Structure 1
Amino acid sequence: MYLLVLWTFLFGSPQISQKVSDRFSNHPKTENKDPDEVVRFKNKTVPKVILEPVLKALAYFPDLDSVDITFEFKENISGAVMQAQPKIFSLFVNGKEDRKYRIKITRELDLGGELLPIEKIPIDALVGWIGHELGHVMDYLKRSSTDMMHFGARYFLSKKKVTEAELTADGYAIGCGMGLQILANKTYILNNEGFDVEYRNKIKSLYMSPDQIISMSEALEK
């Protein structure tokens, strides 16, 4: 059971196996990759269609400048729209200072039968979504490989740990100045009836509420 939970954290849910900152503008290289063109710059890999929101989100996280992160599209991510994870090989081979990460992003949102490409949602909501995942990466940076594996197991076995992890990710993003974007993301989800009720209830129960986001943002501004 423990191994199955750990597999899910590292690889995704089994089926059963399932403003832009100048520092990111040093002539990114592109290559054709099905289904979308990919842009490579520094140690980041990003689908070209979401390059703008990714750059906007990254601009709030200078601590991630030197961190290797691959943003990749997936047709479906069980129970989520985006998911930040350490790369499995890197988790065991690299120390935490050199660990590599990936952020999986659902290619199209299913909004009550309407398929909406992820890049078509409002820009602030998308930047906030990406910023939340970068908040997870910030949390992972300080964890050893053993701690990461224990974290993954606890995440899938305990709702309390899920809530702690999601609040921590939001907290990192808001602390980096992304309060408005995190608020835009939560508002977009909670007010959009295209998302099923179960998913919206999950967002309500596990993540910061709009009022909490506003309160934390205001407190940080004082």
Structure 2
Amino acid sequence: MSTVLISNYHSAPKSIQEEAKKALSFYPELDSVEIDIRFKKEIKKSTMQAQPQFWSLLKGKKGRRYVIFISKKIKITDSEFSTKLIPSHVIVGWLGHELGHICDYQNRSTFNLIRFGFKYLFSEKFIKEAERNADSFAIIHGMEDYIIATKNFILDNANIPDSYKNRIKRFYLSPEEIMLLIEERDQKLKTE
């Protein structure tokens, strides 16, 4: 799968370069942050995963590089979806969520980020907080239509088992919570 440079600091697989450009356009503060979007054969318990490149942690916040891994085939329990068959706006939403994680990571010290990784591995309460934060970043950045489309793709898809849908409901923002965040964001914008 060929990767293309989509800006001075960002690269993505050619097959989703337009979706990557679209998602990144909502995050101008990441314009000069190195982000490499790559396909990976398989990601356990996830579809996409954003993380700092390990050695870049030694360079401090300004020198960090990030990778967003995308599973080539999205396996949700017994159902499997090729990334090629997922609607474009859903891919943009998924990428927007992962970019929300990167915004969160950019606000953390190296030590805090390492601690974050360990907590994410061992605490469901922390996973819920981290995933809701990423959704919140995406919504604050104006990506609510894409985030809602991604959630609807999962929750309304008859081929996706209830166990996975329940995980999404448990860890991520609900459509009602998204609407509340949109109202808060819009009120804040009116007062500025």
TM-score normalised by structure 2 residue count: 0.91
TM-score (norm 1): 0.79
Shift in Å at residue 117 of structure 1? Answer: 2.4
List alignment gaps of at least 5 residues for structure 1. 1-35
Report the CA distance between 1:193 and its aligned residue. Answer: 2.5
Which of 89, 102, 108 lines up with 2:55 in the alignment? 89
**Which residue matches 2:141?**
176
1:61 aligned residue: 27
Structure 1 position 136, deviation (Å)? 0.1
Structure 1 or 2: larger helix share?
A: 2
Matched residue, 1:139: 104
State whether residues 85 and 103 of structure 1, in contact with CA within 8 Å, keep that contact through their aligned partners in structure 2: yes
Q: Percent identity?
A: 40
- Map 1:17-32 to 2 at 5 A: none
What is the CA–CA distance in structure 2 between the aligned matches of 1:144 and 1:216, rounded to whole Å? Answer: 26
Match of 1:28 in 2: none
Say which SS state the counterpart of residue 214 (structure 1) adopts: helix
- Report the equivalent of 1:129: 94
Unmatched runs of 5 consecutive residues or more in structure 2: 188-192
- Residues 43-92 of structure 1: CA deviation (Å, up to 9, x unaligned): 11200000011111000000000000010101210000000000011113
CA gap of 1:205–1:42, structure 2 versus 1, over 3 A, is: same
2:119 aligned with 1:164, yes or no? no
Task: State the SS of the aligned residue for 1:116.
Answer: strand
Question: Is the partner of 1:97 in helix, strand or coil?
Answer: helix
Aligned equivalent of 1:152: 117
- 3-state SS of 2:159 partner: coil
Calculate the aligned-residue CA RMSD, in Å: 1.5
Q: Does 1:45 align with 2:11?
A: yes
Q: Which residue of 1 aligns with 2:46?
A: 80
Matched residue type, 2:23? A
Say how many residue pairs are matched: 186
Matched-pair contact (CA < 8 Å) for 1:112–1:194:
no
* Structure 1 residue 111, shift from structure 2 partner: 6.2
Mapped to 1, the partners of 2:76 and 2:101 lie a distance apart of: 25
Report if aligned partners of 1:39, 1:47 keep a CA contact under 8 Å in 2: yes
8 Å Cα contact 1:95/1:144 also seen in 2: yes
- Say yes or no: does 1:218 pair with 2:183: yes
Structure 2 Cα separation of the partners of residues 125 and 210 of structure 1: 15
